[in-house]
Structure 1
């Protein structure tokens, strides 16, 4: 593998904007055909965008959280499925950065700079809740490990070079095992059939006695032993995807009303775009999108501030700021994508136009974790100064 190495934040944003323009052209067709974006992901790898958070001392651009969030927002506005695929990639780059040994960092950061993609094998179905991880990482006599379990919603795994797998060791502590995509005993099943995010290939990973060397295992439980922004960064990227979906839906709605809609006969105007009631509604929707984008930027700055001076208080501020951004972005994505049909009228519902992909993507992606709990944590923080929990989802 070879990849371009991006030098700084400005270049990262320039590359992201350029790729988004490319990816937007066939996004609807990929959704309709459930055509997996393998070529597009190869372009993403070759561009160097997947290595922009590699630390400077290892040759990376080490971009800010603000830049990374904008990269994801740009990509999601072009193709929400494609943007979601590398979300876990960046989360596990952070795990390597925080918990990897010097040798592990040297190895994996070199892989990333060469264009390697990290997938994910985290969630499990049929367990008590999302943190009930039952995949086992058992010690072998040679000092290595053996990995056994079944994972679901494994976005990115099908396209990955390395698949980080969450598993518990004999003492029940949580670890991440980095497994090559072609490892014996590892099977990735393309069985994702969601109504939205259709081309993320968020299917099943099966692990049957997969051998893992000790130097490919990192102690993830230590990530949450002190103040951290691991969860805040992961959630920030989810919020960026939702904000991107909302922006795309608003732009699509405006194009449709300007070019394809007829004015309602009672409006007395010549074009739908002159209808004062539609103008009012577009103003309301634009405020929602702008609010989501503003809170996204605010949250990213809070994450950057916490990284610069990581304390219990700064980490809490970052998590609360990200939670607020995620709530508003999720609400904006669902409402604006739905309102597209309200303002577009009957013709906008034609299957051939595939405008429902924005709503389907929004409705599916915003189910990742419930925003109602984020509102709870925000309320507790504001009212009682209760810091949010350190569980990686806030």
Structure 2
């Protein structure tokens, strides 16, 4: 549970400066945290204290209400230093966004106040063993006193172990989706730290069990209403995932260049004194830099499209935002894996030493990019360019 006093960030410029400072602080021990699976409790307290978790709170309720372009850059910066640490607050911002869209005035005042005080939202969304990702079987049932009862099991619950509030995605008796905001210490709620992924090792994306958890009526939000009109729920969520992938790629490229400059030997046939002068390595680094620059450019385009749609939300603007984010996500997915793999190609044998833990970039990239398939992003882009088909309204696009 959060125990710090949170700073309140004033504007976009301050948010970016704070994020850059935290990224530098988090970078130092990132390899060791990953190698030893040292969960980042202290770092998350720093994140809470910094005020970054409150930057999307609306201005009329005390927040900076930063642009999505700023938020994407915050995540890119953090992920360049520690991709696991950057992923933990992704769901926090998604469920702040749910309250912004569907919360009552009272809910917004209460929960945004919590966020500005540094409280963290986790997530209990995905389930295992169902027909597909949107087959949600956790149930939210009414009780005689007007409250609700939650029962179910959630997996891949990134951030839940570190959270003050855990948003739970559940279906009511009518089949509609709701989000219940449950305190971390609620009776009947159990968090199991059983995440054993090869990458994103310190996200603690484990299991949440809900055994007849009582939820007051004023802690439940009608999430299904989000998708009955033009919406940006999926675009915002996916934009942050794309930013994480772009950050991994950028971080891996910087690490590779530093390794080649300081630790690599030139190939004997190159005729140069240092590896950094090898023309073939120079060519390869240029190719990799081009990929990273393209991903970062697409990320910026996507973020600005989301901002434009937020300013004037219509079916057309929401569709354009979703497509722009889909393009960014598809590209950053490929770039993260490519650059994290190429790190070893350019750095050579010594880079493969387990003690250096440079493989964390590839493990993080390969694991995080499995969140949802990029091929479906490309499918929606193709449908739109050929037939003018707008992307569907769901939370993964």
Please state whether the residue corresponding to 2:202 is helix, strand or coil.
coil
CA RMSD of aligned residues (A): 0.5
- Listed as ranges, the matches of 1:10-29 within 5 Å are 10-29=13-32
Name the residue aligned to 2:373: 370
Q: Does 1:341 align with 2:344?
A: yes
The offset of 1:2, in angstroms, is: 2.3
Which secondary structure state, in structure 2, belongs to the residue aligned with residue 199 of structure 1?
helix
Deviation at 1:312, TM superposition (A): 0.3
C-alpha distance in 1 between matches for 2:113 and 2:354: 45
What is residue 286 of structure 1 aligned with on the other side?
A: 289
Q: 1:230 aligns with which of 233, 247, 259?
A: 233
Q: Could you give the per-residue CA deviations for residues 329-351 of structure 1, whole angstroms, max 9, x where no partner exists?
A: 11010000000000011111001
1:114-133: CA deviations, max 9, x gaps? Answer: 00000000000000000000
Distance (whole Å) between structure 1 residues aligned to residue 366 and residue 394 of structure 2 = 24
1:359 aligns with 2:370: no
Among 304, 307, 312, the residue aligned to 2:310: 307
Deviation at 1:305, TM superposition (A): 0.3
> Aligned pairs, how many?
394
Q: Following TM superposition, by how much is the alpha carbon of 1:221 offset from its aligned partner in structure 2, in angstroms?
A: 0.3
Question: Within the alignment, does 1:245 sit opposite 2:248 as a pair?
Answer: yes
Equivalent-residue separation in structure 2 for 1:25 and 1:112 (angstroms): 27
Alignment TM-score, normalising by the size of structure 1: 1.00
Match of 2:140 among 137, 141, 166: 137
TM-score, normalised with respect to structure 2: 0.99
**1:263 deviation in Å?**
0.7
Distance 1:5 1:257 in 2: 41
CA distance in 1, matches of 2:310, 2:10: 20
In 1, Cα distance between equivalents of 2:231 and 2:129: 29
CA–CA separation in structure 2 for the residues paired with 1:115 and 1:353: 34
Is residue 50 of structure 2 the alignment partner of residue 44 of structure 1?
Answer: no
Residue 332 of structure 1: aligned partner: 335
Does the alignment pair 1:93 with 2:96? Answer: yes
Alignment counterpart, residue 77 of structure 2, candidates 74, 77, 100: 74
Runs of 4+ in 1 over 2 A off after TM superposition: none
Inter-partner Cα distance in structure 2 for 1:85 and 1:280: 36
Find the aligned partners of 1:237 and 1:283 in 2 and give their Cα distance. 26
Q: Which runs of 5+ in 2 are unaligned?
A: none
CA distance in 1, matches of 2:171, 2:322: 26
Cα offsets for 1:7-65 (capped at 9, x unmatched): 00000000000011100010000000000000000000011000000000000000000
